[in-house]
Amino acid sequence: MSRSVDVSTNERAYFIEGLKAGIRLNGRRFDEIRYPHNIHLSKEEYGYVELEWGKNKISVRVSSYIRKPFEDRPFEGIFNINCEINSMASAKFENGKNSDEEVLISRIIEKSIRRSNSLDLESLCIIAGEKVWNITVDLNFLNYDGNFIDIGCFGVMLALQHFKKPDISIINGGEDIIVHDINEREPQPLSILHVPVCLTYCFYNITNQQEVNIKGESTSDDIYLLDCDYKEDLLKSGSIIITLNKNREIIQLSKNGGIPIDASLLVDLALGSIKVVDELTDLMKKLIKDHEQQRFDELNLKLLQVGADR
């Protein structure tokens, strides 16, 4: 059984001619993303999210437990992201075997979120050197339709904001702790320092004159598409992944091979991405807020509120 997908010249020709005429085969604009839909934030538990993005589908689960910190970092909690890509998503991924592509996907998600310190690790410390929270995110890809990185990053960030860890009291002068049941005391949300958003741009050299491109003569012939679907991803001649946050910071940039891109184009792309990043961050914020409100109303927590609203 072959793992590769063969694209016919007909599809390629339509795609290229379409790009020349300004059409994407899926009808989107060049810089238009597929917005996430069917977002399910679990009501029963904290930190479980399912969402779709085009035909992509993922589920994210955040879990926590208490353990001893690493010896060299006694004040920091532990945070892991675990990406699971298997042939459930698409037959092109092999079970139990990590291809380079799979490693790159999980590595970039990890770099964007974990290494950029978007989760405040010091706030996960309970007793220095003794007890810290260990937060694990399990990211499962359920269906593949191109662009796992962007959707994965979005899903993980949404789930982290949805998650709440049980409240804790320290007793006996810092010797012991009590973990309060979530029904006993309102659990605590994680402290998130910033919200990274990944955006993947794919590049297409529509003139098929690679030499011209590599020697750096003309750049106007290059077309870039945001958030490619499955077919566009097969036909790409290069891609670049930009991770940004709302504070106009670049968190991660990576370009793994493919046709070279002009430095000025890169700057333009990064600046142009800000708008999409803002939209997605606001969307996440709104989803979480609505969800909180809903939970508040359903549990009738207003009854428990003491004092006037200020």
Contacting residues toward another protein, per CB under 8 A = 1-3, 5-14, 17-18, 20-23, 25, 27, 91-92, 98, 100, 103-104, 106-107, 110-111, 115-116, 207, 209, 211-216, 238, 240, 244, 248-264, 266-267, 270-271, 274
CB of 138 to another protein, least distance (A): 17
Nearer to another protein, 103 or 170 (CB): 103
CB of 94 to another protein, least distance (A): 11
Residues facing 143 on adjacent strands? 57
Nearer to another protein, 263 or 304 (CB): 263
CB of 136 to another protein, least distance (A): 16
Nearest one of 89, 188, 95, 193 to 139, comparing CA atoms: 89
Question: Could you give the CA distance from residue 63 to residue 51 in angstroms, rounded to a whole number?
Answer: 18
Q: What are phi and psi of 205, to 5 degrees?
A: -100, 100
CB of 41 to another protein, least distance (A): 28
Nearer to another protein, 262 or 279 (CB): 262
Those residues with Cβ within 8 angstroms of residue 111's Cβ, 6 or more apart along the chain or in another chain: 243, 252, 254
CB of 198 to another protein, least distance (A): 13
Nearest one of 69, 175, 75, 65 to 120, comparing CA atoms: 75
Nearer to another protein, 164 or 194 (CB): 194
Nearer to another protein, 183 or 264 (CB): 264
Q: What are phi and psi of 293, to 5 degrees?
A: -60, -45
Question: Could you give the CA distance from residue 230 to residue 244 in angstroms, rounded to a whole number?
Answer: 24
DSSP state letters, 43-100: SSSSSEEEEEETTEEEEEEEEEEEEPPPTT-TT--EEEEEEE--TTT-TTSPTT---H
